[in-house]
Amino acid sequence: MSSRKPGDSDVLSSLYSMIPLLFLLLACVELSDAAAAVDVYRLVQYDISGVPFGSRLAALNHHAASLHSSAGADLSRSVLIIPLRELNISLVKEYISQKKTLGGLLLLLPQMFNFESGDMAVTKDDIHEMERLKNLLVELEELLIHANIPYPVYFAFEHDDIEAVLADIQRNDVNGQAATPTNGGYKFVVSAPEPKKLASPIMTNIQGWLPGLKPDGDTNQLPTIAIVASYDTFGAAPALSVGSDSNGSGVVALLEIARLFSLLYSNPKTRGKYNLLFGLTSGGPYNYNGTHKWLRSFDQRLRETIDYAICLNSIGSWDDKLWLHVSKPPQNAYVKQIYERFSGVAGELGLKVELKHKKINISNPRIAWEHEQFSRLRVTAATLSGLSSAPELFQRTGSLSDSGNLVSEDAIRRSIKLVAQSFARHIYDQQEDMPVFADDSSLAVDLSYVRLWLDLLSRTPRVAPFLTKNDPLVAALKKELAEHTHEVNVQHELLDGLFTFYDSTKAKLNIYQVASVTFDLLLLLAVGSYLIVLFSFLVITTRGLDDLISIFRRPPPRKSKTG
Amino acid sequence: MTAFHFFNCAILTFGPHAVYYSATPLSEYDTLGTSMKAALVYLGTAIVKLVCLANFLKVSENDEFDPYQESLKALIGLVDVAGIYFALTQLTHRNISQNHKFQAVGLGWAFADSILHRLAPLWVGARGLEFTWDYILQGLEANANLAFSISMAALGSLMWLRRNKPKTLIPLIYICALIVATMPSITSYLRKKLDWHFPEVVGFELGSSLVMAFISWQLFSACQRRSS
């Protein structure tokens, strides 16, 4: 006995020393072994003067349920998955208005709204369905953005993995079966920290000057034409809010117009007697707060030199008619002049431009059009837009449905031509039909340039509070504007305190197939009885039945060394 | 709940070893030391095997069955047999009968194998939220492996330790030993060449382990009767 002891303790101690090593090793292995991991995009969360809106939670850990679950089922502890294709908007309305609680909501969007999936060929049959889905999505977004939803709401794109899971869940819900491991009990987990307030959101305005020709050299005395587009967006999911039409199309048009006029202005012969001011403004969705700050930063004298300003907004998906929105009555001489020039050029190009007047109500904080910020400072301005009526707050500011494949390059090209031509007519004081930007000339609208920028903007979410000061997009816009203009300035401004935003806009959803507790209990029972049977079998074969019986007769079994 | 599942899989994987130890006379003769030595030999064998595999085997990117590579692997698998030979014959055991020695060695061998190959995946995988049948199957595989190890040890002790065996049984003993020793290659062949799924492979292993355990048990008791 004593001779064996030291050897044994050696063995044991060497084993013990390995145990911490083993655990150290295991601690390094982070487990993430989900059936599927899906990119999900959270519904925006924000406050307006302290009043909460949007989805108020980010973390998710619940079983999944579908719309097919029985009507009376309690969904307060499950994640409801709704594909947009099957969405019944009145159901969502009901849930929101009656403040029914859910564990979470996951909305599946068709791939055609995914800016990351690249170009999708849209066939003719799809167009009708697409239109329906688009309208539905717009309605849904409007509902979600303006509601206070006390549970996490996520968007995801249709995907093979998640569709298989959804089909499983639906099958179970239809059959009314409880979730079991083999037929699809799924748990959706998003491990996200509590959303934090974004500290002081910053808006970045970029401006570029193209000075006109003045014989005595002081270009500050020259009249100025401003062309402005707001580049940031706001949508239901900040990480998906690319706003190709609103207002990517305006930004693209502005850049192309800057390029065209920089060509003209580089030659002293064609350098006009007007300064051109290009402004890419931020804060568009928030009553054009950035434009407001930008204009305020101008010197009064400088502001007075602005002859007029044209704001570009949503000019990428109109069919036959553009609208010129103004806030001064059409009888106003300046407005009349602008409109006549535009409609004249439009006539030559075979387009239609219609004037629309909307009075400014000073007491109303809502500013629907960018030109209203100019008008409030008594600068003549108009907004050229494909929209016929003024959008409400957060309407047409880059919604989920506003994706690149719904924007027509041709519409943008025609808009660019219209604006550039009417500017040229004003600057060079042309009277009659004399196309400066003819299609086959060196000053033709460069479609590949338009496409390039539209493509970039259509895949870059740009909700102002989530853009940093040195965001690559801002830097790219600045660089591009610097290519075509002189004196590019970048201005950082704080977004006015009414709005508060929260982070965690994007997350990974892990989908786990889970077993129910009952299953584990049954398994324990099975394993336990297997071990008991094994024990009995071994005792009977090696020691005989009597021993087995004696073990049960006299617990605890006394080991008798009689063998 | 997932800890529960981990617990279930753990007792399915490691329970049979404990049951075997406590149910058979092994516990009465206090053969834990022998088992532990066998486990340490297993550890050494595993390292030797690893070195051999790393040196002589190409890493195949695709999971294909390459006869040359597989036969090499089977050859390296024979290191196991050498390990069992060492554990049975070269180690100084306390005075325990051959009957118990091979059981203790087989048990220690299988337990070490389970710890080394199954504990880590179990710890990492079965505690996760995701449910798969894999860990239950892996537990069953551990059971089959226990039966194989003990059969191998039994056949080994017949081959190397027993002098007066019935002449007629000797070829049978060697054939059985060969089958048991090449079992890893056979299962690998089934999985890769015949595209069997994991449940099927485990089923095959369980069935064949039962058959082999029964045969070696009969062989051993036949030799025992003869010598007594």
Interval A417-449: pLDDT, tens: 999 999 998 888 876 667 788 888 888 899 999
Mark whether A371 and A489 lie in a shared domain. yes
Element (H, E) at A6: helix A5-28
Q: How many domains does chain B have?
A: 1
pLDDT for res A162: 87
Check CB contact under 8 Å for A189 and B11: no
Q: Which two tokens stand for residue B79?
A: 């290191």
CB-nearest partner of B130 from A33, A535, A561: A33
In angstroms, the CA B111 to CA B4 distance is 22
Per-chain mean pLDDT for chain A: 84
The answer to whether the Cβ–Cβ distance between B19 and A513 falls below 8 Å is: no
Mean pLDDT of A441-470: 90
Q: Are residues B136 and A523, on separate chains, in Cβ contact within 8 Å?
A: yes
pLDDT at A543 over 60: yes
How far is residue A457's CA from residue A28's CA, in Å, rounded to a whole number? 41
In a domain, A11, yes or no: no
Task: Tell me the per-residue pLDDT of A108-132, one tens digit each, with 9 for 90 and over.
Answer: 998 888 877 655 555 566 778 888 8
Secondary structure tally for chain B: helices H, strands E: 9, 0
pLDDT at A362 over 70: yes
**Chain B nearest C-alpha distance from A24 (Å):** 12
Closest CA to A527 of B15, B205, B65: B15
Range of the domain at A533: 526-553
Residues A177 and A217 in one domain: no
Assigned domain for A24 exists:
no
**Residue A28 pLDDT:** 43
More confident site: B160 or B2: B160
pLDDT (0 to 100) of residue A308: 92
Name residue A524's amino acid.
L
Q: Which of B19, B138, B224 to mutate to test the interface with A (most CBs of A within 10 A)?
A: B19
Question: How many domains does chain A divide into?
Answer: 3
Domain, as residue range, for B145 = 2-227
Query: In this structure, is residue A531 part of a structural domain?
Result: yes
What is the signed CA dihedral for A389, A392, A393, A399, rounded to 10 degrees? -70
User: Within this chain, do residues A354 and A490 fall inside the same structural domain, yes or no?
Assistant: yes
Are A228 and A101 found together in one domain?
Answer: no
Give the DSSP H/E element, type plus range, for residue A489. strand A486-494
Residue A143 lies in a domain: yes
Shared domain for A181 and A266, answered yes or no, is no
B37 touches A at CB < 8 Å: yes
- Cβ-in-10-Å burial (0-12, 13-18, 19+) of B66 comes to middle
Chain mean pLDDT for chain B:
83
Structure confidence at residue A27 (pLDDT):
47
Measure the N-to-C terminal CA separation of chain B; round to a whole number of Å: 53
Option in B28, B120, B128 nearest A561 (CB): B28
pLDDT confidence band for A237 (50 / 70 / 90) = very high
Report which of A241, A243, A373 is spatially closest to residue A297, judged by C-alpha positions.
A373
Q: Any CB–CB contact under 8 A between A542 and chain B? A: yes
**Other beta carbons within 10 Å of A468:** 10
Residue A208 pLDDT > 90: yes
Q: Which of B8, B28, B103 to mutate to test the interface with A (most CBs of A within 10 A)?
A: B8
| ipTM given for this complex | 0.86
pLDDT of residue A36: 79
Q: Are residues A365 and A381 in the same domain?
A: yes
Cβ separation B33–A8 shorter than 8 A: yes
Structure tokens at B171: 């070829």
- Model pLDDT, residue A130: 83
- A477 and A393 housed in the same domain: yes
Question: Distance between CA atoms of B63 and B56, rounded to whole angstroms?
Answer: 18
Specify the higher pLDDT residue, A5 or B202: B202
Q: At what angle do helices B67-85 and B183-192 cross, to 10 degrees?
A: 150
Decide if A527 and B28 are in contact by the 8 Å CB cutoff.
no
Residues A294 and A363 in one domain: yes
Distance from CA of B81 to the nearest CA of A (A): 23
What is the secondary structure of A435-461 as a DSSP string?
-SS-TTSTTS--HHHHHHHHHHHTT--
Measured at the CA of B51, the angle between CA B48 and CA B54, to 5 degrees, comes to 150
Q: Does A555 score more than 70 pLDDT?
A: no
Q: Is the domain of A370 the same as that of A259?
A: yes
Percent of chain A at pLDDT > 70 equals 87
* A363 and A395 together in one domain: yes
User: How, if at all, do strands A45-48 and A499-501 pair?
Assistant: antiparallel
Which pLDDT score is estimated for B77?
A: 81
Q: Give residue for tokens 């697409």.
A: A130
Chain-chain contact of B127 with A31 (C-beta, under 8 angstroms): yes
Tell me if A215 is assigned to some domain. Answer: yes
Contacts of A7 in chain B (CB under 8 A): 33
Concatenate the DSSP letters of all residues of A181-230 into one string. Answer: TTTT-EEEEE--PPP-BPSS-EEEEEEEEE----TTS-GGGS-EEEEEEE
Question: For position A2, what pLDDT does the model report?
Answer: 40
CB A171 within 8 A of CB A183: yes
* Residues A222 and A281 grouped into a single domain: yes
Show Cβ contacts of residue A385 under 8 Å, excluding neighbours closer than 6 positions. Answer: A312, A313, A314, A315, A322, A323, A325, A369
> Pseudo-torsion of CA A511, B141, A24, A5, nearest 10°?
160
Q: Cβ of B131 and A181 within 8 Å?
A: yes
The C-alpha of B75 sits at a distance from chain A's nearest C-alpha, in angstroms, of 30
Task: Look at residue A425 and tell me if it is in a domain.
Answer: yes
Angle between helices A5-28 and B32-56 (to 10 degrees): 50
Among B residues 76-135, those touching chain A with beta carbons less than 8 Å apart: 94, 119-120, 123-125, 127-132
- pLDDT digits over A26-35, tens only? 444 444 455 6
Region A390-412: mean pLDDT is 86
Q: Looking at residues A503-532, what average pLDDT do you find?
A: 87
Instruction: Give the minimum alpha-carbon distance from A559 to chain B in angstroms, rounded to a whole number.
Output: 6
Asked if residue A6 has pLDDT above 50, the reply is no
Give me the pLDDT at residue A336, please. 92
Identify the band that residue A563 occupies on the pLDDT scale cut at 50, 70 and 90: very low
What pLDDT digit, counting tens, does each position of B136-159 carry?
Answer: 898 999 999 999 998 988 888 888
Strand order in the sheet with A51-55: A148-149, A51-55, A45-48, A499-501
**CA distance to A144, A537, B132, per residue, from B141 (Å):** 52, 19, 15
Give which of A458, A433, A478, A441 is closest to A205, Cα–Cα. Answer: A478
Instruction: Report whether pLDDT(A558) > 80.
Output: no
pLDDT above 70: residue A17: no
Gyration radius from chain B CA atoms: 18
Report whether pLDDT(A207) > 90: yes
Interchain proximity A543–B130, CB inside 8 Å: no
